[in-house]
Structure 1
Amino acid sequence: MRPYAAEPGREGAAERSRRGPRARRSGGRRIINKRTSFMATVVLWMAVCWTGSFYAVEHSGWTPAPLVGYLAATSGGFLLFGLSMAIVGRFIQRHNIELFKAIFDALSRISRGDFSVQVALPRPYDEYDEFSRLVQGINDMAADLGRMETMRQDFISNVSHEIQSPLTSIRGFARALQDEQLPPEQRRRYLAIIEEESERLSRLSDHMLRLASLDSEHHPFRPARMRLDGQLRAAALTLEPLWSAKEQELEVQADPLEIEADEDLLRQVWTNLIHNAVKFSPERERISISLVRDGDEAVAEVANTGAPIPRESLPHLFERFYKVDKSRTREGGGSGLGLAISRKIVELHGGSIAASSDEEAGTALTVRLPLRQPPQGASGVPDGHPPA
Structure 2
Amino acid sequence: MIVLVSLILLSYTAAYYVTAPSLRWLGFEFSGLRLELANTLVSFIFLMVLAGVVGRFFYSQQRKMLAVLIGAMRQMARGDFNIQLNFGHKNEADFGGIVDGIYHMAEELGQMERLRQEFISNVSHELQSPLTSIRGFARALQKEGLDEEERAHYLRIIEQESMRLSKLSDNLLKLTTLESEHQPFAPQPYRLDRQLRNVILVSEPQWSDKELELEAELPEMTVVADEELMSQVWINLLHNSIKFTPPGGTIRIEALSKDGQLAITFTDSGIGIQPEHIPHLFERFFKSDASRQRAAGGSGLGLSIVKKIVELHKGDIAVISELGQGAAFTVTIPQDRPEASRRGGGEE
- Fold match by TM threshold 0.5: yes
Q: Which moved more, 1:357-366 or 1:302-311?
A: 357-366
Q: Which amino acid aligns with 1:86?
A: G
The yes-or-no answer on 1:46 pairing with 2:8 is yes
Separation in 1, partners of 2:334, 2:284: 25
Give the gaps of 5 or more residues in structure 2: 343-348
Q: Which amino acid aligns with 2:193?
A: D
CA-CA distance at 1:81 after TM superposition: 3.5
Identify the residue that residue 356 of structure 1 maps to in structure 2.
Answer: 320
Query: Against the structure 1 CA distance between its residues 41 and 111, is the aligned structure 2 distance closer, same or farther, given a 3 Å change threshold?
Result: closer
Instruction: Tell whether the 8 Å contact from 1:49 to 1:81 is kept in structure 2 after alignment.
Output: yes
Identify the residue that residue 42 of structure 2 maps to in structure 1.
Answer: 76
Query: Against the structure 1 CA distance between its residues 322 and 55, is the aligned structure 2 distance closer, same or farther, given a 3 Å change threshold?
Result: same
Identify the residue that residue 339 of structure 1 maps to in structure 2.
Answer: 303
CA-CA distance at 1:337 after TM superposition: 0.8
SS of residue in 1 equivalent to 2:291: coil
Identify the residue that residue 208 of structure 2 maps to in structure 1.
Answer: 244
Identify the residue that residue 226 of structure 2 maps to in structure 1.
Answer: 262
The yes-or-no answer on 1:152 pairing with 2:121 is no
Identify the residue that residue 240 of structure 2 maps to in structure 1.
Answer: 276
Instruction: Tell whether the 8 Å contact from 1:356 to 1:365 is kept in structure 2 after alignment.
Output: yes
Q: Which amino acid aligns with 2:139?
A: R
Identify the residue that residue 28 of structure 1 maps to in structure 2.
Answer: none
The counterpart of 1:94, out of the listed 57, 60, 69, is 60
Instruction: Tell whether the 8 Å contact from 2:277 to 2:288 is kept in structure 1 after alignment.
Output: yes
Identify the residue that residue 228 of structure 1 maps to in structure 2.
Answer: 192
Separation in 2, partners of 1:156, 1:359: 31
Instruction: Tell whether the 8 Å contact from 1:281 to 1:307 is kept in structure 2 after alignment.
Output: yes
Instruction: Tell whether the 8 Å contact from 1:299 to 1:369 is kept in structure 2 after alignment.
Output: yes
SS of residue in 2 equivalent to 1:331: helix
Give the gaps of 5 or more residues in structure 1: 1-38, 376-385
CA-CA distance at 1:230 after TM superposition: 2.0
Query: Against the structure 1 CA distance between its residues 85 and 302, is the aligned structure 2 distance closer, same or farther, given a 3 Å change threshold?
Result: farther
Separation in 2, partners of 1:118, 1:181: 67
1:40-82 per-residue CA deviation (whole Å, 9 max, x = no partner) reads 5643553354245325546779452222321222233334444
The yes-or-no answer on 1:167 pairing with 2:141 is no
Query: Against the structure 1 CA distance between its residues 46 and 305, is the aligned structure 2 distance closer, same or farther, given a 3 Å change threshold?
Result: farther
Instruction: Tell whether the 8 Å contact from 2:274 to 2:323 is kept in structure 1 after alignment.
Output: no
TM-score (norm 1): 0.78
Query: Against the structure 1 CA distance between its residues 348 and 72, is the aligned structure 2 distance closer, same or farther, given a 3 Å change threshold?
Result: same
The counterpart of 1:294, out of the listed 226, 234, 258, is 258
1:82-116 per-residue CA deviation (whole Å, 9 max, x = no partner) reads 44443433332222111111111122222222233
SS of residue in 1 equivalent to 2:330: strand
Query: Against the structure 1 CA distance between its residues 360 and 200, is the aligned structure 2 distance closer, same or farther, given a 3 Å change threshold?
Result: closer
Instruction: Tell whether the 8 Å contact from 1:50 to 1:74 is kept in structure 2 after alignment.
Output: yes
Instruction: Tell whether the 8 Å contact from 2:313 to 2:338 is kept in structure 1 after alignment.
Output: no
1:193-212 to 2 correspondences below 5 Å: 193-212=157-176
Separation in 2, partners of 1:288, 1:121: 63
CA-CA distance at 1:222 after TM superposition: 1.0
Separation in 2, partners of 1:225, 1:151: 37
Q: Which amino acid aligns with 1:96?
A: Q
Separation in 1, partners of 2:112, 2:2: 47
Identify the residue that residue 345 of structure 2 maps to in structure 1.
Answer: none
Identify the residue that residue 67 of structure 1 maps to in structure 2.
Answer: 33
1:357-376 to 2 correspondences below 5 Å: 357-359=321-323, 362-374=326-338
Query: Against the structure 1 CA distance between its residues 51 and 256, is the aligned structure 2 distance closer, same or farther, given a 3 Å change threshold?
Result: farther
Identity %: 45
> Which structure has the greater CA radius of gyration?
2
Instruction: Tell whether the 8 Å contact from 1:307 to 1:359 is kept in structure 2 after alignment.
Output: yes
Query: Against the structure 1 CA distance between its residues 240 and 301, is the aligned structure 2 distance closer, same or farther, given a 3 Å change threshold?
Result: same
Instruction: Tell whether the 8 Å contact from 1:207 to 1:337 is kept in structure 2 after alignment.
Output: yes
TM-score (norm 2): 0.87
Separation in 2, partners of 1:356, 1:125: 53
Instruction: Tell whether the 8 Å contact from 1:318 to 1:343 is kept in structure 2 after alignment.
Output: yes
Separation in 1, partners of 2:2, 2:83: 38
Instruction: Tell whether the 8 Å contact from 2:245 to 2:268 is kept in structure 1 after alignment.
Output: yes
Separation in 1, partners of 2:2, 2:270: 73
Instruction: Tell whether the 8 Å contact from 1:126 to 1:133 is kept in structure 2 after alignment.
Output: no
Q: Which amino acid aligns with 1:178?
A: Q
Separation in 2, partners of 1:258, 1:326: 38
Q: Which moved more, 1:194-203 or 1:261-270?
A: 194-203
Separation in 2, partners of 1:326, 1:121: 49
SS of residue in 1 equivalent to 2:254: strand
Q: Which amino acid aligns with 1:271?
A: I
Separation in 2, partners of 1:91, 1:149: 40
